[in-house]
């Protein structure tokens, strides 16, 4: 009988330091885990708290969030620039450092020197825009480099399962301890200073992690056309790849709709409902606690019912949760808890099925073009989603801040916006049902 070895396990087979490929993906996973810890304090609940502490209201939070995505219009120039660099290590490291210097360090220190709230809003937007301009021009070069380490076939699903699980565990453990501390300290007079120092520590983590990510993995040659890229090749060439376009259109719709209230919902539950910090992470905690068991379940669902059927159910159930969660009020916090737990189970499946979208029908040549188009399209869709959501919110939110009354419950603009998301997700479910036959491999169409 063959003796058991740890190297036989999927995790140790994919993540080790035996060769350049396994070393690269191990470092990618490590960076994801480290970044997940630092991200807790510069995104989501803590980012919203930081903005609120600096006098930014709910509509301005939405505006600040979508401003940097304007920079991604410039990403059509990225392939032409990247084509000139046979090696990108130092270019990407410089971009990484500059990005977090502006997004984290600059925005953290700025309120100490700018007192006017309107001026702070402008400075927040300016720092985010400045950071994203070079990132749009060269940042996508990291995709063509790091995708070399991602395995193919069934191992790719296993890879995403493990990386998602590790990221979820590290981020949630950090978030839970940080939230418990924040709930105790939120009324302290120096709470704003505490948030500032947490963001500075996060900045240092991002810089050190970036050095490991870009200076250690082996950099392989990039497969590009001999012909120099034209400025509009980044738009024209991917558009002509019909199956690729139809495939990623699903993810683009997802990114647009999900971002209708990506920043403003957290503001609503923290500042209007005065929900404890720890409750805002119920969904993430569920993902972490159940991910080890649920990722294999979702993998089996994909294998048995196909990716196409699974993603339809993921989108449908996600939309349904948006309808239910809209009934969250000061008196119905239990609804939020129940829905957040259900969302946790659904999001495990969402992480798995959407991780594969970009690679499913990706052409093998000129990955710079396609990865740039992918980043460009995703960011434009996020921008549109946030603009649409902020626009709807500004229309339905009462100027005096008072709620509408329905069935004896108070309803604010943020709750109405979740109902709008429900309608859009139902439409997206129908779209996936119609488009999936056109993106299946030929062998799959006949079955």
- CB count within 10 Å of CB 284 equals 21
2-16, 343-357, 361-375, 380-394: least confidently modelled range? 2-16
pLDDT given for residue 9 in this prediction? 67
Q: Compute the distance between CA of residue 429 and CA of residue 223 in angstroms, rounded to an integer.
A: 36
- Helix, strand, or coil here: 138? helix
Task: Give a yes or no: residue 10 inside a domain.
Answer: no
- Quick: pLDDT tens for 279-289: 777 766 776 67
Q: According to the model, what pLDDT value does residue 58 have?
A: 65
In this predicted structure, the answer to whether residue 447 has a pLDDT above a threshold of 60 is: no
Please check whether residue 445 lies inside any domain of the structure.
no
Mean pLDDT of 356-364: 81
pLDDT at 191: 74
Tokens 């997940």 label which residue? 36
Cβ neighbours of residue 380 under 8 Å, at least 6 residues apart?
Answer: 69, 72, 73
372 occurs within a structural domain: yes
Confidence (pLDDT) at 4: 37
Which pLDDT does position 186 carry in this prediction?
A: 65
CB 34 within 8 A of CB 205: yes
Instruction: For residue 1, tell me if it sits in a domain.
Output: no
Computed over every residue of the chain, the mean pLDDT equals: 83
Number of structural domains (the chain) is 1
Residue 294 lies in a domain: yes
pLDDT at position 361 over 90: no
Which of 191-205, 224-238, 247-261, 347-361: highest mean pLDDT? 247-261
The DSSP secondary structure of 193-212, one letter per residue, reads: HHHHHHHHHHHHHHHHHHHH
Q: How far apart are the first and last CA of the chain?
A: 39
pLDDT of residue 254: 95
DSSP-assigned states of every residue in 245-299: HHHHHHHHHHHHHHTTSTTHHHHIIIIIS---GGGGGHHHHHHHHHHHHHHHHHH
Say if 4 falls within a structural domain. no
Task: Answer for the pair 263, 386: CB distance below 8 angstroms, yes or no.
Answer: yes
- Is 6 among the domain residues? no
Cβ–Cβ < 8 Å for 253, 357: no
| Range from 36-40, 129-133, 210-214, 442-446 that averages highest in pLDDT | 129-133
Res 445: pLDDT = 47
- According to the model, what pLDDT value does residue 286 have? 75
Helix 89-100, helix 117-138: angle, nearest 10: 170
Whether the pLDDT of residue 408 is over 60: the answer is yes
In a domain? residue 398:
yes
Percentage of the residues of the chain whose pLDDT score is greater than 90: 19
pTM for the complete prediction?
0.69
Residue 257 CB-density burial (10 A; 0-12 exposed, 13-18 middle, 19+ buried)? buried
pLDDT digit string, tens, across residues 298-351: 888 888 888 889 999 999 999 999 999 999 888 888 888 888 888 888 988 898
**Can you give the residue range of the structural domain that contains 117?**
19-439
Q: Give the model's pLDDT for residue 288.
A: 65
Rounded Cα gap, residues 156 and 196, in angstroms: 38
CATH number at residue 310: 1.20.1250.20
pLDDT at 7 over 50: no
Mean pLDDT across 387-406: 84
| pLDDT at position 185 over 70 | no
- Mean pLDDT is highest, among 61-70, 364-373, 431-440, for 431-440
Least confident window among 188-197, 260-269, 380-389 = 188-197
CA distances from 135 to 72, 93, 257, 436 (A): 8, 11, 24, 33
**What is the model's pLDDT at position 1?**
42
């Amino acid at each position: 009988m063959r003796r058991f070895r740890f190297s036989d396990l999927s995790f140790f087979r994919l993540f080790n330091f035996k060769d350049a490929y396994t070393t690269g993906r191990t470092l990618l996973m490590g960076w994801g885990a480290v970044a997940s810890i630092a991200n807790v304090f510069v995104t989501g609940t803590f980012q919203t708290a930081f903005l609120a502490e600096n006098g930014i209201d709910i509509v301005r939070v939405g505006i600040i969030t979508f401003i940097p995505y304007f920079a991604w219009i410039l990403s059509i120039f990225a392939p032409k620039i990247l084509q000139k660099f046979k090696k990108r290590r130092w270019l990407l490291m410089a971009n990484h450092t500059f990005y977090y210097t502006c997004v984290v360090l600059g925005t953290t220190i700025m309120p100490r020197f700018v007192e006017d709230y309107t001026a702070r809003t402008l400075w927040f937007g300016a720092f985010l825009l400045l950071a994203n301009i070079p990132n749009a021009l060269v940042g996508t070069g990291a995709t063509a480099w790091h995708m070399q380490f991602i395995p193919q076939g069934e191992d790719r699903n296993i890879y995403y399962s493990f990386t998602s699980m590790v990221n979820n565990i590290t981020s949630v453990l950090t978030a839970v301890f940080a939230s418990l501390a924040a709930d105790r300290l939120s009324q302290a007079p120096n709470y704003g200073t505490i948030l500032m120092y947490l963001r500075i520590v996060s900045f240092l983590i991002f810089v050190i992690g970036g050095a490991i990510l870009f200076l250690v993995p082996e950099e392989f040659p990039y497969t590009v056309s001999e012909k120099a890229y034209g400025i509009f090749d980044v738009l024209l060439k991917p558009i002509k790849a019909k199956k690729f376009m139809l495939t990623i259109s699903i993810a683009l719709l997802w990114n647009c709709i999900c971002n209708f209230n990506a920043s403003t919902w957290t503001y609503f539950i923290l500042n209007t409902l005065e929900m404890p910090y720890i409750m805002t992470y119920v969904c993430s905690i569920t993902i972490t606690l159940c991910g080890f068991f649920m990722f294999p379940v979702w993998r089996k669902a994909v294998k048995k019912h196909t990716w196409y059927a699974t993603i339809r159910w993921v989108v449908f159930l996600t939309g349904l949760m948006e309808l239910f969660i809209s009934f969250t009020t000061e008196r119905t916090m239990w609804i939020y808890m129940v829905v957040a737990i259900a969302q946790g189970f659904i999001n495990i499946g969402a992480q798995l099925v959407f991780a594969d979208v970009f690679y499913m029908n990706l052409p093998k040549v000129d990955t710079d073009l396609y990865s740039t188009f992918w980043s460009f399209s995703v960011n434009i869709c996020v921008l549109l989603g946030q603009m649409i959501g902020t626009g709807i919110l500004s229309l339905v939110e009462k100027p005096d801040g008072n709620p509408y009354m329905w069935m004896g419950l108070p309803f604010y603009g943020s709750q109405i916006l979740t109902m709008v998301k429900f309608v859009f997700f139902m439409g997206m479910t129908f779209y996936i049902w119609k488009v999936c036959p056109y993106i299946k491999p030929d062998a799959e169409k006949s079955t």
